[in-house]
Structure 1
Amino acid sequence: MLTEPEITPDLIAAHGLKPDEYERVLALIGRTPTLTELGIFSAMWNEHCSYKSSKRWLRTLPTKGSRVIQGPGENAGVVDIGDGDCVVFKMESHNHPSYIEPYQGAATGVGGILRDVFTMGARPIAAMNALRFGAPDHPKTRHLVAGVVAGVGGYGNSFGVPTVGGEVNFHPRYNGNCLVNAFAAGLAKTDAIFYSKAEGVGLPVVYLGAKTGRDGVGGATMASAEFDETIEEKRPTVQVGDPFTEKCLLEACLELMATGAVIAIQDMGAAGLTCSAVEMGAKGDLGVELDLDAVPVREDRMTAYEMMLSESQERMLMVLRPDKRDEAEAIFRKWGLDFAVVGRTTDDLRFRVLWEGREVANLPIKDLGDAAPEYDRPWLEPAPAKILHATDIPEPADCGAALLALLGSPDIASRRWVFEQYDTLIQGNSLQTPGGDAGVVRVDGHPAKALAFSSDVTPRYCEADPYQGGMQAVAECWRNLTAVGAEPLAATDNLNFGNPEKPEIMGQFAKAVQGVGAACEALGFPIVSGNVSLYNETLGQAILPTPTIGGVGLIADRSRIARTDSLTAGDVLFLVGGDGSHLGASIFLRELCGREDGAPPPVSLADERRNGDFVRGLIRAGTVATCHDLSDGGLAVALAELCIASDTGAHIEAGDGPAHAILFGEDQGRYLVAVAPQDADAVVASAGTAGVPLRRLGVAGGDRLAVEGRLDLALADLTVAHERWFPDYMAGEFVEPAAAAE
């Protein structure tokens, strides 16, 4: 029999518990905890599981709406899409594991978010990922990009879910801490959604899926701490994934759910057996007793501590109707998966863990969650960024050269190298794949319906002004869904920040959440699920504040969808929302002037709503089939992307104002739309009626993009500039883009 180690201050600190938090543990249980109990408290009270620094702010977010069936608090959010169907979706981070072990870190991030969705009874239909890496010239960046992209594709492709969208960005502030935010969505029937709340006393608690190993032990605690020089020692805390086992687990779970056997079900994600068992019991006001001798293991001599904290993948915990046990076991055996009764529900609100015939944990189950520390951490109001005027920034001598440089810069260049490694068409329902404003997937079995998905945030805006940056992340996601003709339904968030114990970082978080909330409220775009990832720092250097927003929209008639690759010669191009004027915190300023200063473009939520509703109306009426929202790089980059995607040029009138502001200003709430010539006058009239700023830009056609008096470039040159950066970089041929506007 193993001897229990002494619970020392060093051991407590190694478990991520502060001295005052440990004193709270002692007060709750009235004695010194066992090592297993210390591990359980460590798992349940770390930042990743308890949200102890963020709860106070998350409660301020709008989470309800006429279509919302389930908001935050479950494995995923659920939103009604009519006809008895619902969409189930969530976004989660796997940042720290992906930096330590990029392939497995990213792969298990995809696996975990897929389980969150099918645990609710939904079949996954779409995935996205939002990736942030360090400076391209940092020695580790290329290695991380290659590993993460391979991991995302390796898991998603093998599991059989299309990757329909996402983001990839680079900045030196991610040098020591990349971000991997994974999104998944699935379809379910509104009368067949499964929850994690256990109900009934004396019912079997069943372990399902793959065997438990030592991979991922302490993963959630690792994810709740900064990185330091001991980072390589954390490699064993990264999980190892098996997408083929997960595919079997999906099919077995959905088959079992159809039998009526399932009372409650919970994915074994962060903190494994511990978190899943505690959450199921506590939500149902029940106790849980586990017998670890019944847990299927794949390694010899595993301790109770290791079994309770392992984050081995492809596992579920379920409360089952006793009369359905044999039927349930037969289903899981058929799919080649483990099925084991490992415990029972009780009426005493205790969490008991038995191992080798003795009790190694006996804790108050509600207090493991409800009594977790909750902090209203001190925070500093971020200093306002200086407002820059176009006249403060030199105009480029050659606007054409400036556009080519931007198109070939790391944050604007085509992501084709990335998304061609993903299966974007599997399941046969993808109507729009990565490269446009939003991914679109038809609703299988429905004659007209489709769903749109987008993921967005501009971290440099959030760094300059977290409130405006938070609003802009929501507004751009809402705009991208609108740009394909979708009604934005709801959103999920992934709030990535540095160390919340630093008041300046907590200030970024607080203001960003306020901005997100304000935009969601104004745009009718509630947050129904999400994740907070804090302590994204290495040796005291925090990432850029990165509140990623993943959104879902509904298209009632999929014959009326707008695209970015459908521009046709003779089409009349319009700019919705006014000419550009704002260059502060812009990609132009950073890439061509070597500066990262200035306030970001302000977001007018009223203008966003008005302009977006106008554009969506044109798409739904069949008047607009080509649309692109304006974001990084402003009008010039949006025009170039539209022309490249459609292999069609355009001749554009310049507009009044400084050339660089007109071409590269990143003013918000704007769209490019193209209409047939016979519809142009009607569009102008309807914009006037709606009070929407509209400028007729010019006509599509030819093989050049020309803006009168400003630039004239061959479409072939634009395409080469846009397409070559990523493959050249990954081949080791990266050349730093021009850093000055000359």
Structure 2
Amino acid sequence: MSLPDSDRELVTAELGRDPTPTEAALFENLWSEHCAYRSSRPLLSAFSSEGEQVVVGPGDDAAVVRLPDNDGTSDSETYVTMGIESHNHPSYVDPYDGAATGVGGIVRDTLSMGAYPIALADSLYFGGFDREHTRYLLDGVVEGIADYGNAIGVPTVGGSVEFHDDYEGNPLVNVACVGLLDEERLVTAEAQEAGNKLVLVGNATGRDGLGGASFASEDLAEDAETEDRPAVQVGDPYSEKLLIEANEDLIDAGLIQSARDLGAAGLGGASSELVAKGGFGARIELDRVHQREPNMNPLEIVLAESQERMCYEVRAEDVDAVAEIAERYDLGCSVIGEVTEGNYVCTFSGETVVDVPPEFLADGAPMNDLDAVEPTQPEPDRPDVDVESAFEAVVSAPNTASKRWVYRQYDHEVGARTALLPGDDAAVLAVREAGTGLAISAGAVPAWTDCAPYDGARAVALENATNLAAKGATPLAAVDCLNGGNPEKPDVYGGFKAIVDGLADMCRDLSVPVVGGNVSLYNDSVEGPIPPTPTLAMVGAKDGYDAPPAAFDGEGTVLLVGEGSDALGGSELLAQVGGSDRFPTLPEDAGNVVATLADVADADSTLAVHDVSSGGLAVALAEMVTAEAGADVAVDDAVALFEETPGRAVVETTDPAAVAAAFDGVAPVTTLGEATADGTLSLSVDGTNLAVDAETIASLRDVLAAELD
């Protein structure tokens, strides 16, 4: 690790002296791209993060959003927390531990707000599925998420899995967490009062994860899997489970004034950011930190990213009570220092090793002024399409195939809140405290943003909102994980800037505040940069917990709601058969489309709803077929069958006139045909007739399980 010369000059000027080795390492990590957002922060003002439902917006460990009280019986307001983070580089070097500790970190962000974690959603991006290395990474990442999430008792209820050749040298692992609390339990990461003690609770500090923040802020080297392994943390989910329960007791007892989990930059990052946010300083005695390895030096103690640790601000008179709860759960507990009115100071063996202004350390990193080249869309070059072979290729493509192999490894029902299971458009959780169904959707489509970063990002936001609406939920708020390559390359930075603007513009059109998030840049390797990838995790609320299924019932009329576009850009069809095209045109009044779809989905006459996205109508219809129910439908041509304009849904209803009336003046409604009870998709496309039964569709869509089991 080394502090860049330009930063060293700024630090030296501010301190009036050369920084100590520990100070230099602290500045290097806290001023890294991963922590300071030096290349992205100037762009993030594009997002709107305000709304009546927003309690805590960007800048804390997690955002807090107010839920509607649909049963009117709650004595206090019910809140949910939302957070998302990336663990991309660690998951390439060590897929199991990298992914597992990504889960642990986002769960602790939830704890630090006083919330209990109730759901996880993971969005995973890998290279071509036909590559052995991709399957190795996929297997390790899924196992890491499953083992950690299952062990701590937090259900993984949703997410996405995408394959694209440009992730071969740098996969992405983005994990979102939702927590639950009421207004009395809310704490923040803002120090409250000088004289309060700083208490470290959780696992002992070791040497794992050293320099993790700076490691995440540089391109992956060719030898990263061996040389960078020490920068990867090692998780212990059983300690995390104890920490979750201890945190509940600490919050219940009113013992916590503020909190921050130890993630990037370890103790130095958590403690300095906590006091700086409150306008205070700190004095920390590093010798007091409970350690699991002998002879650790101050730099190691300050920067180690050992897992399952929390930093709490505690009143002096409450320290013994905190220690008692920690002991009850067999967790380590150290009173490491106190909040002060002065500098951020760390001592070791009686010597001062850090003495810096806290705000300068936490927020003083200069922003980068980078060149950007505006991306362009490809020229149209559509291939000739044989509908029958194209249908088979698209439905069986790894991106559109069933992800059952992934989510069957997750415990998605622990906690008894999961009302709608994985495999549908969105998960639905029962928040009985407010009589509210909480719908969750998360993901991005890299083929869209690779083709057209701005419009593709707009489409990602609309797609997630449509997923919620298809289950009858109204979008409430979102958090994002903005992933890009090396921002020092003008074309890469131009694409990244475009996804920020696109996501922000569509979320604003949908009236969905973006209340928090994460930025991960330098996702670049010898294989080249990743596609700009704007993962979005969005939640929505509905009255009650029931939702229409995505599968056909077999008794209604099949409608397509929403307007398509005569464009195949970013589609799975082009990925399978070749060619290029411009990205589809998105609806002008997306917010009204989504709101109307949510109302229609909740109607008694609605039997099934499924959104149209990757793979277009071909995949949407195939996914709705079961052994008991199918459909007899017709579409105009191959473009109509395979184009992927978001904001559309297939609706099976017993009252098509009511659906048409609801969408009158909002979006077109097209009658595709009728649902059937024969378990077959009978499809007419411009004179070509296909009949595919449920068993054949299932075999086409089970490609992941067929290759990985």
TM-score tier (shorter):
over 0.9
Trace 1:569-588 onto structure 2 (pairs within 5 A): 569-579=554-564, 581-588=566-573
Residue in 1 that maps onto 2:289: 295
Residue 464 of structure 1 is matched in structure 2 by 451
3-state SS in 2 of match to 1:653? strand
The CA deviation string for residues 281-322 of structure 1, in whole angstroms up to 9 with x for no partner, is 111111111101110000011110111110000000011011
State the percentage of identical aligned residues. Answer: 38
1:594 matched residue in structure 2: 578
Match 2:50 to one of 43, 48, 64 = 64
Write the mapping of 1:389-428 to structure 2, written as runs, cut at 5 A.
392-396=382-386, 399-428=387-416
Aligned equivalent of 2:674: 699
Question: What is the correspondence of 1:433-444 to structure 2 with a 5 Å cutoff?
Answer: 433-444=421-432
Alpha-carbon shift at residue 449 of structure 1 (Å): 1.5
User: Once the two structures are superposed, what CA deviation does each residue of 1:53-103 show, in whole Å capped at 9, x if it has no partner?
Assistant: 111011221111111111100000111003410110111000000000000
Change (3 A) 1:179 1:691: closer
1:713 aligns with 2:698: no
Tell me by how many angstroms 1:364 deviates. 1.4
The residue that corresponds to 1:331 in the other structure is 325
2:6 to 20, 24, 34: 20
Task: State the Cα RMSD in Å.
Answer: 1.5
Structure 2 alignment gaps of length 5 or more: 70-76
Q: Distance in 2 between matches of 1:580 and 1:540?
A: 34
Offset from partner CA, 1:262-293 (integer Å, 9 cap, x none) = 11111001111011111111111111111011
2:222 pairs with 1:234: no
1:697-716 per-position Cα deviation (integer Å, ceiling 9, x unaligned): 11111121111343222221
Letter in 1 for 2:57: G
Partner SS, residue 333 of structure 1: helix
Structure 2 equivalent of residue 106 of structure 1: 99
Does 409-418 or 550-559 show the bigger shift? 550-559
Report the CA distance shift for 1:568/1:139 in structure 2 as closer, same or farther (over 3 A): closer
Q: Is the 8 A contact 1:523 1:605 kept in 2?
A: no
Query: Is the Cα–Cα contact under 8 Å of residues 511 and 591 in structure 2 kept in the other structure?
Result: no
Alignment of 1:673 with 2:651, yes or no, is yes
In 1, Cα distance between equivalents of 2:571 and 2:124: 20
Alpha carbons 1:62, 1:521 under 8 Å: kept = yes
Select which of 164, 167, 173 maps to 1:171.
164
Identify the residue that residue 663 of structure 1 maps to in structure 2.
641
Whether the 8 Å contact between 1:213 and 1:298 is mirrored in structure 2 is yes
Corresponding residue of 1:282: 276
Residue 87 (str. 1) matches residue 80 (str. 2): yes
Q: How many Å apart are 1:358 and its aligned residue?
A: 1.1
Partner of residue 182, structure 1? 175
Match of 1:700, SS state, is strand
- TM-superposed CA distance for 1:539, in Å, is 2.1
Q: Deviations over 1:440-473 (max 9, x none)?
A: 1101344x31101001211122122211011111
> Match of 1:247, SS?
helix
Match of 1:635 in 2: 617
Instruction: Find the aligned partners of 2:602 and 2:693 in 1 and give their Cα distance.
Output: 33
Match for 1:574: what amino acid? L
- What letter corresponds to residue 722 of structure 1 in structure 2? R
Spell out the pairing of 1:342-361 with structure 2 (5 A cutoff).
342-348=336-342, 350-361=343-354
Q: Give the Cα separation in 2 of the matches to 1:728 and 1:313.
A: 35
Secondary structure at the counterpart of residue 184 of structure 2: coil
Alignment partner of 2:38 out of 46, 49, 52: 52
Distance 1:384 1:417, change over 3 A: closer
> Equivalent residue of 1:712, what SS?
strand
Partners of 1:691 and 1:425 in 2: CA distance: 37
- What one-letter code is carried by the residue in structure 2 that aligns with 1:473? V
Q: C-alpha separation between the residues in 1 aligned to 2:662 and 2:178?
A: 36
Instruction: Please state if 1:42 is matched with 2:20.
Output: no
| SS of match in other structure, 1:169 | strand
Counterpart pick for 2:148 among 155, 160, 179 = 155
How far apart are residue 727 of structure 1 and its match? 1.7
Matching residue's letter, 1:257: I
Q: C-alpha displacement at 1:605, in angstroms? A: 4.2
User: Secondary structure of the residue that 2:389 maps to in structure 1?
Assistant: helix
Are residues 1:722 and 2:694 paired?
A: no
CA distance in 2, matches of 1:20, 1:352: 24
Aligned residue among 603, 608, 616 for 1:626: 608
Q: Could you list the per-position Cα deviations for residues 494-539 of structure 1 after superposition, in whole angstroms to 9, with x for gaps in the alignment?
A: 0000011111111111111111111111100111110000000012
Could you tell me which amino acid in structure 2 is paired with residue 587 of structure 1? Answer: E
Q: CA offsets, 1:658-711, max 9 Å, x none?
A: x211211112321100112xx2233333333x4430111111111211113432
CA distance in 1: counterparts of 2:653 and 2:317, whole angstroms: 62
Q: Distance in 1 between matches of 2:682 and 2:131?
A: 37
Give unmatched runs, 5+ long, in structure 1. Answer: 1-13, 732-742
- Looking at structure 2, the residues matched to 209 and 486 of structure 1 have their Cα atoms a distance apart, in angstroms, of 38
Aligned to 2:197: 204
Distance 1:729 1:133 in 2: 15
Residue by residue over 1:540-587, the C-alpha shift from the partner in whole angstroms, topping out at 9 and shown as x without a partner, is 61011101111001011224x12213x222211100014553212211
Check conservation: 2:560, 2:670, Cα contact below 8 A: yes
Native 8 Å contact 2:428 2:545 kept in 1: no
2 CA distance for matches of 1:280 and 1:503?
35
Q: Which range moved further: 453-462 or 150-159?
A: 453-462
- Which of 666, 670, 686 in structure 1 is aligned with 2:662? 686
Distance 1:360 1:297 in 2: 18
Distance 2:660 2:341 in 1: 68
Q: Is the 8 A contact 2:634 2:672 kept in 1?
A: yes
The CA distance in 1 between the partners of 2:416 and 2:388, in whole Å, is 40
Q: TM-score, normalised by structure 1?
A: 0.92
Q: Indicate if the aligned counterparts of 2:219 and 2:523 stay in contact, CA closer than 8 A.
A: yes
Aligned-partner Cα distance in 2 for 1:229–1:505: 20
Contact 2:471/2:602 (CA < 8 Å) preserved in 1? Answer: no
1:502-521 correspondence to structure 2 within 5 Å: 502-521=489-508
Give 2:376's match in structure 1, choosing from 351, 358, 383: 383
Distance 1:578 1:489 in 2: 24
Measured in 2, the distance between the counterparts of 1:470 and 1:685 equals: 31
- What letter is aligned with 1:293? D
Give, in whole Å, the separation in 2 of the partners of 1:605 and 1:105.
Answer: 41
Q: Distance in 2 between matches of 1:510 and 1:128?
A: 25
Q: Secondary structure, in 3 states, of the residue corresponding to 2:158?
A: strand
TM (normalized to structure 2)? 0.96
The equivalent of 2:72 in structure 1 is none
Aligned residue in 1 for 2:587: 604
CA distance in 1, matches of 2:527, 2:38: 21
Q: Using the TM superposition, give the Cα deviation of residue 36 of structure 1 relative to its aligned residue in structure 2, in angstroms.
A: 0.8
Cα distance in 2 for residues equivalent to 1:492 and 1:727: 31
Indicate if the aligned counterparts of 2:481 and 2:518 stay in contact, CA closer than 8 A.
yes
Task: State the AA in 2 paired with 1:422.
Answer: Y
Counterpart check, 1:652 vs 2:633: yes
**Which of 495, 509, 520 is the aligned partner of 1:533?**
520
Contact 1:580 / 1:663 at 8 angstroms: preserved in 2? no
Once residues 563 and 584 of structure 2 are traced to their aligned partners in structure 1, the CA distance between those partners, rounded to angstroms, is 13
From 480, 483, 498, the counterpart of 1:496: 483
Q: Is the 8 A contact 1:576 1:611 kept in 2?
A: no
> Which residue number in structure 2 is paired with residue 738 of structure 1?
none
Contact 1:583 1:664 in 2 (8 A): yes
Q: By how many angstroms is 1:170 displaced? A: 1.0
Distance 2:133 2:193 in 1: 52
Equivalent residues of 1:105, 1:148 under 8 A apart: yes
Moved more, 19-28 or 153-162: 19-28
